[in-house]
Amino acid sequence: MPKLKEVIKNGNLFTAGHRACAGCPGPIIIRQALMVAGPNTVVTINTGCMEVASSIDPFTSWNVPFMHEAFENSAAAITGVEACYEAFKKKGKIKKHMNFIAFGGDGSSYDIGLQALSGAIEREHRFLYICYDNQAYMNTGIQRSSATPRGSHTTTSPAGTVIPGKIQKRKDLTEIIAAHDLPYAAQASPGYWNDFMKKVEKALNCGGPSFINVLSPCPLGWRHKADESIDIAKLAVQSKFWPLYEVENGKYKITYKPREEVDIEEFLKVQGRFAHLFKPENRHIIDELREDINYKWDRLERLERLYSD
């Protein structure tokens, strides 16, 4: 865990005054990541909630060099910056160490920008990609993305008489990225800030490309109270819906194991996007979600044991 006294000295590198919705964890995620990275950091961000909320011309909340990119190319842009830095460093024009971070929501990370992200990792640039995963295209009207869980109500997967919310399973982006055999990949939650900040530190110091997928509950899209975001982020972890783990040089490690079993229903019932699942005709979806969660947790434990023996 980074020493708090040290990271606090970096100051507030993502300031107040942004236009994020009340209760949005996105600014918390960005602020904590930059506290660890420090002022010698360059940021790119895909079009999305955090870009729109933080950089409406002529205003900005960023106290580090910052570039807004299109939906699909934040990862490509940050690798260009990193390559330029390395060239200047070889020529002696830059001597200080710099960090490079790209941010993107789930729409740009899971879907539109996945190709650019995959290519950037394959080229082995030194950068950290942080996905703030609010599980839909929240910025453009709460449309379903491939990060949207099965059964979730969105404006393009509306729960009603035709379909009970989204009918497909959620894509597992963390595992897709881990399959690239990069030095570091992880999942995190703003409900466990110390775990997240430790992972940011590891990612920035791994010597190559790194990735952190951070769950970001959305009061508007998830239909919960604004002051419940962090509690729901914790419930996601405690119910094993969103396991906290890391894959460091191919080795799996679960970084938080719930002490007490919390059933997935506790996570679902506090969100309006899942209210229809509690109708008798839809409860089978809850059972299927529970089975999928248990299967994936068992798989993580097997992978962790594999590398601990």
For 18, the token pair is 């942004």
Q: Which amino acid is at 194?
A: N
For 162, the token pair is 């035709």
Domains defined along the chain, listed by start:
4-308 (3.40.50.970)
Segment 100-127 shows an average pLDDT of 97
Q: What is the DSSP string of 122-182?
A: HTT---EEEEEE-SSBGGGT-B--TTSPTT--BTTB-BSSS-BS--SPPP-HHHHHHTT--
Kindly report, residue by residue over 17-37, the tens digit of the pLDDT.
Answer: 899 999 999 999 999 999 999
User: Does residue 309 have a pLDDT over 70?
Assistant: no
Q: Please give the Cα distance from 207 to 169 (Å, whole number).
A: 34
Kindly report, residue by residue over 152-209, the tens digit of the pLDDT.
Answer: 999 999 999 999 999 999 999 999 999 999 999 999 999 999 999 999 999 999 999 9
Kindly report, residue by residue over 254-277, the tens digit of the pLDDT.
Answer: 999 999 889 999 999 999 999 999
Instruction: Quickly count: other Cβ atoms within 10 Å of residue 34's Cβ.
Output: 24
B/e letters for 132-167, b = 16+ CB within 10 Å, e = fewer, are: bbbbbbbbeebbbbbbbbbbbbbeebebeeeebbbe
Task: List, in sequence order, every beta strand (DSSP E) within 190-237.
Answer: 210-215
Cβ within 8 Å of residue 79, ≥6 positions away: 120, 123, 125, 127
For 306, the token pair is 């594999």
Mean pLDDT rounded to a whole number for the chain: 96
Residues β-bridged to residue 92 = none
CB 133 within 8 Å of CB 216: yes
> The whole model's pTM is what?
0.97
Q: Please give the Cα distance from 158 to 160 (Å, whole number).
A: 6
